[in-house]
Structure 1
Amino acid sequence: MMPKLGESANEMECFLKGGRANMTSETPTLHPSPRLHVFEQEGGWHWGITIPRPAGSGFKVIAYSETAFMHETDAQRDGDRALGDLREGALAVFAS
C-alpha cells in the first residue's frame, strides 16, 4: 500500500503525541526527518511517518497506513518499504 502523502492525519498525530496508541518501535535515523513509527491501535498494528515541525513544535504526519496489520513485524516491514519509497522519491527530486 502506498502512503497517503500530504493528507491530514489528525487522529494519528494525536495518537503519536501520547493519545491512546502504544508506540513500540521506531526506525532510527541519523538526522531528524523523516521517522517511521509503528504502534498498536484498536487491536491492529499501524505505521506512520513524521517530520519535525519548525521551531521544535512537535511533528507532522506525512504518510500513514490506512489498514491495520495483524502483526507488528508486518506493519514494520510495510512502513520500512514506504519510508524507503519516500526517501528514494526525495533523492530523485534532488538529483534532477
Structure 2
Amino acid sequence: MYHDSNVIGQTVSRLRYERHWSQDDLVARLQIMGCGITRSVLANIETRRSVATDKQIVFLAQVFGVDVGRLFPPGPARSNGTPVGVCTQAATRRRSE
C-alpha cells in the first residue's frame, strides 16, 4: 500500500543516491545524530509504504545538509508565478471534496 501523503520518499532516495550512500550508511548517520530509525523504516519511507514523522524529516534534512523544504517536491505555480506548496495543495483538495 502506498501513502499519497508520503511526498519525500523519492527525494530521500535521490539525495542518498547522489551521495553514494547505501540505506545502511544513511541509517548509521541518522542514528549518530540521535534519530532512532531502522533500515526497514527508511526503506518503507523511500518506497512510500510509510510516512516519515516530523522528527525524521528534520533529521533527514540535517543529514543531507539541506533545508526541510528541499525534501518536498515543488508544487504547481499560481497564475502570478509563485509556487503553491504541498500543504496548500492538500488543503485545497480537502476543501473541494
Shared fold per TM-score greater than 0.5:
no
- TM-score band, normalised by the shorter chain? under 0.3
TM-score normalised per structure 1? 0.24
**Higher share of residues assigned strand:** 1
